Amino acid sequence: MKQTTGVYQFTMSHLKSGVLFRDGADYILAVNSIALGTLHHAVRVLGYAVMSNHLHLLLRGTYEDCISFYHFIMRRFAKMLSRKYRLNGIVRENDFHASEVTDRQMFLNELAYILRNPYRARTASPYAYRWSSADVYFNPWLDLVRGTPFSGMKQAEQRNVLGGHYTVPDTWEHHAGCILNRCFVDYGYVEKYLEDSLALFDKLRVYDLESTVKLSHGYSETVKFSDAELQEKINALCRYEYHVKSPHQMDRKSLLMLARTLSRRFAASKGQIRRLLGLEDYVLNQLL
């Protein structure tokens, strides 16, 4: 008989084009939405990662409550996109993949998979990424983290930070408007369930974890980057790996190496590479 844990993994479907979150304020709204959802739904957040064009959640509760929680977040995202960018119909409440976590090993795989997303996107290491729950697990210094308490904030300012009329616990704190993970992520449950930090750390190091999780999900997930996002990757590669300011300062051999890197590391299409690096089609056809 299949074990039931009451834990579910939710993955928001990737946008086919464009991005959801474009600046720090957008990411803060996303994190705060996850936090606020715990105040109005019988759901515990065990882990999450907010990426530029999708979202991962690990939730504990009934499936119905988790669905309601997810819909609450999506409505907040849709409202932000409409108000700030005049984009409508981008976010669909029922456009997601969900699966039940049935045992400890699957739990460990799912959490590590979620936390590895910034690494897969070549954005940051799991522990250096600001928009995920990675900082709270097995952290002996967590109690030393201090933010700004909501209790001393005026109502108008609180509405601005939270994006609406919400009453949060006096114990909740934020940093630059972003609610701290330790206020709403049930890391205590995660630590008790996993028992030791080495198991999680070992999973974060496993390079074939993606294929393991995809097999259990029954679908394949691909990280896609917009031209603007890919341009940021190019700028970073130029600075830190090629020691130039832009591709225009590269010799031909280095430029071709950069093109191959964009294809292999970031799954960039030939069209993107052609647009961003100015390489000819016949060269890309031979190179990639």
SS3 call for 288: coil
pLDDT band at 85 (very low <50, low <70, confident <90, very high): confident
Determine whether 254 is exposed, middle or buried from the number of CB atoms within 10 Å of its CB (0-12, 13-18, 19+): middle
- Are 14 and 150 within one domain? yes
- Are 232 and 206 within one domain? no
- Residue 109 and residue 199 in contact, taking contact as beta carbons nearer than 8 Å: no
The Cα 267–Cα 269 span in angstroms is 6
222 assigned to some structural domain: no
pTM: 0.76
C-alpha distances out from residue 127 to 116, 159, 220, 266, 287, Å: 9, 30, 25, 20, 35
Nearest partner of 105 among 182, 3, 205, judged by Cα:
3
- Give the total number of structural domains in the chain: 2
100-135 confidence digits (pLDDT tens): 999 999 999 999 999 998 887 777 888 889 999 999
- Find the CATH number of the domain harbouring 17: 3.30.70.1290
- Residue 184 and residue 45 in contact, taking contact as beta carbons nearer than 8 Å: yes
**pLDDT at residue 200, rounded to an integer:** 92
C-alpha distances out from residue 153 to 145, 172, 174, Å: 19, 11, 11
Two tokens, residue 164: 């609406």
The Cα 221–Cα 127 span in angstroms is 22
What percent of the chain stands above pLDDT 70?
A: 91
- Are 192 and 264 within one domain? no
Last residue within a domain, chosen from 166, 192, 217? 217
Calculate ∠ Cα 277-271-56, nearest 5°. Answer: 100
Domain extent at residue 84: 7-217
Last residue within a domain, chosen from 217, 248, 263? 217
Residue 98 phi, psi dihedral angles, 5° rounding: -135, 145
- Are 144 and 58 within one domain? yes
Side chain identity, residue 76? R
2 assigned to some structural domain: no
- Helical (H) or strand (E) element with 12: strand 7-12
**pLDDT at residue 282, rounded to an integer:** 85
170-207 confidence digits (pLDDT tens): 899 999 999 999 999 999 999 999 988 999 999 888 76
SS3 call for 174: strand
